[in-house]
Amino acid sequence: MMEMGPAIKEPLQKVMETEENENVRFWLIKISRAFNKKPEL
């Protein structure tokens, strides 16, 4: 994942580890990919 503030990164990591809802997982992965595709400012 691109460099994001720890305040955002850590809770996101916890959700990814604990969330069992596939739809939520899919959504989070989609957001992560969107971040990765954005060029660095």
Q: Quick one: pLDDT at residue 23?
A: 74
Q: Quick one: pLDDT at residue 18?
A: 64
pLDDT in 10s for each residue of the chain, 41 residues: 456 566 667 777 776 666 566 777 788 788 888 887 766 65
**Please, are residues 13 and 1 in contact by the beta-carbon 8 Å criterion?**
no
Q: Quick one: pLDDT at residue 5?
A: 62
Q: Quick one: pLDDT at residue 32?
A: 82
Q: Quick one: pLDDT at residue 27?
A: 82
